[in-house]
C-alpha cells in the first residue's frame, strides 16, 4: 500500500477510575493543559455503557481520559486492563470515506466499536459533548481495524468534517483556538509505547496499512537481561508526517 494514507495521530485514550485524580496528576505534575469540554456517552449505550471523559493537550497529541460510569463493556475493559491502561489510539484521516474505500478494495473488513462489521452508516456512534442528561450527540463516525489486522491494539479512525460545528473534534479544536502555543520549555508527548508479541508483523500494519514511516535505527536491549522492570526488549520507532498531510 502506498505510504500515504493522509492521516495523523490525533489522540490516545486512557481508561481511568478517577478522572479528577488522574487529571490533577497530568496538570499539576506533568504540566499538560486540560481542555474545558466534557465528553459523555449515554448510560443506556449498549456498546460501551455510560462513560465520561476529558481531553488534555499533549502539545502535538491529545490525551483523552475515559471513565466508565455504569456496568457494561467499558467497565469490563477497566476491570480487565486496569486504570491507566492505553486502550486505543486514534487517527484522523483527511478523507474518512476514502480510507474505508481503500480498505474495502484491499479486502480489509473495518469494524464498528462493538466489533461488528461496519454497516452503511459508516460507524455512526452516540458519543457526544456534555454529561448525564445533557449529552448533545454530535453524529461522529468512527471505524476500527480488527485486532487480527492491527495485531492486538485497538486502532480507530474518526471523521472530521470541515466547518461542522457539531462534530466532537471540531468543537474541541474550536474551543482551543485561542489557547497560546506551547512554549519550548513546556512538556510534550513524544511517543506512545505499545507492547507486542510479533514485532515485524505489528510494524508492517503501521507501515503498510496506516502509512507510517519506520525509523531506520532500531533499539535492541535483548542483552539487557538484568533490567528488573521490563527485561529484554527490541523496539522499533514509527513516525508520522503531519505538515501539509502530504
For domain 7-175, give the fold.
2,3-Dihydroxybiphenyl 1,2-Dioxygenase; domain 1 (3.10.180)
With a cut of 90, say whether residue 114 has pLDDT above it.
no
Task: End-to-end CA distance of the chain: give it in Å, rounded.
Answer: 15
Write down the domain spans for the chain.
7-175, 199-245
pTM value? 0.83
Of residues 32, 41, 38, 40, the one with CA closest to residue 61: 32
Element (DSSP H or E) covering residue 156? strand 154-158
Report residue 40's pLDDT band, with 50, 70 and 90 as the boundaries: confident
For residues 156 and 139, the answer to whether their CB atoms sit within 8 Å is no
Place 126 in a pLDDT band, splitting at 50, 70 and 90: low
Amino acid at each position: 500500500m502506498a505510504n500515504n494514507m493522509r492521516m495523523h495521530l490525533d489522540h490516545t485514550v486512557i481508561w481511568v477510575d478517577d478522572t479528577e485524580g488522574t487529571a490533577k496528576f497530568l496538570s499539576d505534575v506533568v504540566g499538560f493543559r486540560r481542555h474545558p469540554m466534557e465528553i459523555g456517552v449515554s448510560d443506556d449505550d449498549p456498546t460501551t455503557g455510560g462513560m465520561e471523559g476529558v481531553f488534555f493537550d499533549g502539545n502535538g497529541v491529545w490525551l483523552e481520559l475515559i471513565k466508565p460510569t455504569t456496568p457494561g463493556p467499558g467497565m469490563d475493559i477497566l476491570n480487565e486492563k486496569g486504570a491507566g491502561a492505553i486502550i486505543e489510539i486514534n487517527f484522523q484521516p483527511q478523507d474518512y470515506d476514502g480510507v474505508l474505500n481503500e480498505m474495502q478494495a484491499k479486502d480489509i473488513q473495518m469494524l464498528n466499536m462493538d466489533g461488528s462489521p461496519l454497516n452503511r452508516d459508516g460507524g455512526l456512534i452516540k458519543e457526544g459533548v456534555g454529561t448525564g442528561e445533557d449529552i448533545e450527540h454530535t453524529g461522529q463516525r468512527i471505524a476500527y481495524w480488527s485486532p487480527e489486522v492491527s495485531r492486538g491494539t485497538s486502532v480507530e479512525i474518526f471523521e472530521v468534517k470541515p466547518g461542522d460545528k457539531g462534530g466532537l473534534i471540531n468543537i474541541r479544536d474550536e474551543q482551543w483556538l485561542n489557547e497560546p502555543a506551547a512554549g519550548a520549555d513546556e512538556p510534550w508527548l513524544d511517543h506512545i509505547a505499545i507492547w507486542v508479541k510479533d514485532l515485524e508483523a505489528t510494524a508492517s500494519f503501521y507501515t503498510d496499512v496506516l502509512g507510517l514511516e519506520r525509523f531506520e535505527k532500531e533499539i535492541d536491549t535483548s542483552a539487557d537481561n538484568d533490567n528488573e522492570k521490563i527485561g529484554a526488549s527490541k523496539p522499533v520507532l514509527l513516525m508520522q508526517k503531519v505538515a501539509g498531510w502530504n
